[in-house]
Chain A
Amino acid sequence: MAIFLTENVTKRYSGHTALDRVSIEVPEQCIFGLLGPNGAGKTSLIRIINRITGPDEGQLYFKGEKLQQKHIYNIGYLPEERGLYRKMKVGEHALYLARLKGLSKKDATVKLKEWFERFEIGGWWNKKVEELSKGMQQKVQFIVTVLHEPELLIFDEPFSGFDPINVELVKDEILKLRDKGATIIFSTHNMASVEELCDHIALIDRSKKILDGKMKDIRNQYRSNTYSIAYDHFDGLLSSFLDERFEIVDEREDEDRRYASVRITDGHVSKELLEKLVPKINIHAYNEILPTMNDIFISVVKDNEGK
């Protein structure tokens, strides 16, 4: 069941349309990748989901109900551009944000202390925000976003500013949150992390949603039936014995090996290629090239531009 869905959401600013009839469906307890090039309308959509602005047309539903102000307590939002009051003490600041989210002072203090220990910033409680490094500020922001245990979390570029160790730390926490029942909308330009984390994605380009679905399905859908082969040097060319069923996409070599990418044309299968190759060359590696999210992103957006 979808915990959150938008129906034909349209938002116009003077002069341009930021969102054009965008409908997305976020299933419960999944990590939902919201992707798109810069300026595509992602932030506009996220702001509408947070009720920071309202849509001009269309409806939004949270757990089957029309989205209302009371639902905001069930949403946690970590914006891409985020800041803290520099002159405030870290603990006091975190407490302030937590209380604005509706937590009592007592509850918030207990929970914050726990999270601060887990994120190894316990000693910074009484320091001023301006004394923290950027990464530490990000940790504080992450903590206050998830502290009130909202059912829906929206992370916009959550990993920016973190070193690889902390990226892992935050990634683990995000996965833990999902496993505990939260649903996460995850917006990023880092396609590697999308592949790693997301269950579902939606791609928005030039105000329109142009692709969505389960990530597994999408990657399958964009399979091109291409295989990469690593083999020993030999006298001759692959093209000399591969017939028109196969298309050599790419060939290169180094001192030890030669490599090729071969696409099998429609209607034919991998077995046929292997039968051709095995008698002729000494194969070291053979595997299917699955399209990366990066490839899919680029090809879909480029296609859309052509239209």
Chain B
Amino acid sequence: MKKILLVIQREYLTRVRKRSFIVMTILGPILMASAFVVPMYLATLTDEEKKVIEVLDETGWFYNAFSDTGEFEFKYTVSALETAKFELMASDEFALLYIPRREMTVPSSAVLYSLRQPGVDLKGYIRNVMSKEVESQKLRINLDEMDLSPEDRERAMQLPELIKTSITLSTMKMDESGQEEETFTEVLMAIAFVSGMIIYMFIFIFGAQVLRGVMEEKTSRIIEVMVSSVRPFQLMMGKIIGIAMVGLTQFLLWIVLTFAIVSIFQIAFADQMPGPDVRMAVTQSTDISNQAAVAGNAQVAKVFEIVDSINYSVILISFLFFFLGGYLLYAALFAAIGSAVDSETDTQQFMMPVTIPLFLGFIIANVAVYNPDGQLAFWFSMIPFTSPIVMMARIPFGVPIEQIWISGILLILGFIFTTWLAARIYRVGILMYGKKVSYGELWKWITYKS
């Protein structure tokens, strides 16, 4: 056990100290952050002219609540929703904010229709104004019911925390023909696609590192020196785990650095944005979907369901799990290939059976993003060789928890199997030189008794 730790330590330290690791760690977040920051920056630069936002407030709670800012001008309309939408398309106004009326409950949701993608600053501003307004209204209603002295009432008004309301603002992008698209589905698809993609890339990148590491040890005959003090299995697992930790480190550093860069830019631009408290906050879901259902507005409710179904902790935990499981499953196979060959060119014949399922997983994930509950997506998210990628592409849309468990258990069994298989090939392969190995030969190695 002590030895495997030493091996892990070496594999880890030599890699994270490499210049290429440091460069990638810095470059990655800059690229990712620029995906967020550049649009934000551009939003502050462009659009000198004011954007007009039509407000259709069925609740009547927000009359004159939206005041014009440097960038946005709010107009109130009393047309019906369909008419207002039609008018929006005909005019050169920027967006229509629709606050549906609800029975028996306070307004907590709104839909923003626009022809162009609204920026986060606008959404943040609307959300901010609405929640402030709702909070003070709620407070007033509650206070009216009590018989308070004016002083007490004044003090009570200082306690908005008591009735904190979060507003769900969904956006509907409309095209010229009046087709509407729920932009939240796009968000889900993006999360699904990106997480599947990252797993696919990480398995390839770090699997290749395992392959090269094993080959380096074999071709330079380090292995000869090593095997007299470490068991081949310890050496193989040490390398696989060490490199997994390198991958996790890189991933975590990327997240932290991306977050840091984005926050820095946000603070820098905060004063140029409307409203005192604009955040890029991802909507926190409450019991809004229920309220929306009560409201009886089917379309709006559907959007809320989607938002509500994003369970970010499930996504994060599953991402880490499927990333590690998928990596471990494939890394063992990459280690076996590295041990069986003498040179890079010989790897080709063995790479095929490993890269094909991996690539297949990637392709199916692309399909699964459009049809996450289809038969194809389901079965390939169960098979261990494709499940890490395909399951990650399904999870953001919401997958029954028992399916995630089954897929997870199958993946664990899968990597135990590939590790067992790889260990049997590895222990023979690393000490075998100058022989072009065939599949028949590999089978013999696997079936050798130890």
What's the least CB distance linking A89 to chain B, in Å? 10
B225 and A84 form a contact (CB under 8 A):
yes
Min CB distance B342 to A, Å, is 13
Known: A97-B229, A100-B229. A82 touches B14 (CB 8 A): no
B residues less than 8 Å from A144 (CB atoms): 225
| Given A52-B431, A83-B220, residue A100 in contact with residue B226 (CB < 8 A) | yes
What residues of B have a CB within 8 angstroms of the CB of A72 in the complex? 228-229
Residue A82 contacts which of B224, B230, B431, B450 (CB distance < 8 angstroms)?
B224
- Residues of chain B within 8 A of A101, CB atoms compared: 229
Size category of the B interface is: 20 to 34
With an 8 Å Cβ cutoff, the count of chain A residues facing the other chain is 27
Given the known interface contacts A85-B222, A86-B220, A100-B6, the answer about A79 and B14 at a Cβ–Cβ threshold of 8 Å is no
Complex Cα distance A72/B227, Å? 11
Pick the residue among B7, B228, B444, B450 that contacts A79 (CB under 8 A): B228
Which B residues lie within 8 Å of A83 (CB)?
220-225
Min CB distance B126 to A, Å, is 55
Contact mask for chain A residues 51-87; partner B; CB cutoff 8 A; 1 contact, 0 none: 0111000000000000000001001110111111111
* Shortest Cβ gap from A157 to chain B (Å): 12
Asked if A189 is at the interface (CB within 8 A of a chain B CB), the reply is no
Assuming A52-B228, A52-B431, is B14 touching A84 (CB within 8 A)?
no
Q: Which residues of A contact B10 (CB under 8 A)?
A: 96
Q: Do B224 and A79 touch (CB < 8 A)?
A: yes
Q: Which residues of B contact A81 (CB under 8 A)?
A: 221, 224
Say whether B50 faces chain A, with CB atoms less than 8 Å apart. no
| Contacting residues, chain A, for B224 (C-beta < 8 A) | 79-83
Write the nearest CB–CB distance from B2 to chain A, whole angstroms: 8
By secondary structure, the A interface counts as loop
From known contacts A52-B227, A88-B14, A99-B6, infer whether A14 and B444 are also in contact, taking CB-CB under 8 Å. Answer: yes
Q: Which of B7, B216, B230, B450 contacts A54 (CB 8 A)?
A: B450
The proximity string for A residues 273-291 relative to B, scoring 1 for CB distances below 8 Å and 0 otherwise, is 0000000000000000000
Q: Which residues of B contact A47 (CB under 8 A)?
A: 431
Grouping DSSP codes into helix (H, G, I), strand (E, B) and loop, the B interface class, with mixed when no group exceeds half, is helix
| Cα A57 to Cα B252 with chains together (Å) | 52
Question: Given A54-B450, A84-B225, A86-B220 in contact, is the A100-B230 Cβ separation under 8 Å?
Answer: yes
Within 8 A of A (CB), among B139-180: none
**A87, B14: Cα distance in complex, Å:** 8
Give Cα distance in the complex from A54 to B220, angstroms: 24
B116 at the A interface (CB under 8 A): no
Chain A residue nearest in CB terms to B9: A96
- Given A14-B444, A83-B220, A84-B222, A75-B14 contact (CB < 8 Å): no
A224 within 8 Å of B (CB atoms): no
User: A166 interface residue, CB < 8 Å from B?
Assistant: no
Residue of A nearest to B232 (CB): A52
Q: Is A23 an interface residue (CB 8 A)?
A: no
Can you name the residue of chain B whose Cβ is closest to the Cβ of A75?
Answer: B228
- Contact of B436 with A by CB under 8 A: no
Q: Which residue of A lies closest to B234 (CB)?
A: A100
With both chains docked as a complex, state the minimum distance between the C-beta of A101 and any C-beta of chain B, in angstroms.
5
Interface: B3 (CB within 8 A): yes
CB distance from A138 to the nearest CB of B (A): 11
Residues in chain A near residue B220, CB distance under 8 A: 83-86
Within the complex, the shortest CB–CB distance from B211 to chain A, in Å, comes to 16
In the complex, the chain A residue whose C-beta lies closest to that of B13 is A92
Of the listed residues B3, B222, B230, the one surrounded by the most CB atoms of chain A closer than 10 A to its CB is B222
Kindly state whether residue A207 has any CB partner on chain B within 8 Å. no
| 20 A-B contact pairs sorted by A residue (CB < 8 Å) | A47-B431, A50-B228, A52-B227, A77-B228, A81-B221, A81-B224, A82-B224, A82-B225, A83-B220, A83-B222, A83-B224, A83-B225, A84-B220, A84-B225, A85-B220, A86-B220, A96-B6, A97-B229, A99-B6, A144-B225
The chain A residues found within 8 Å of chain B, CB to CB, are 14, 47, 50, 52-54, 72, 75-77, 79-88, 96-97, 99-101, 141, 144
4 nearest CB pairs, A to B: A83-B220, A79-B224, A83-B221, A77-B228
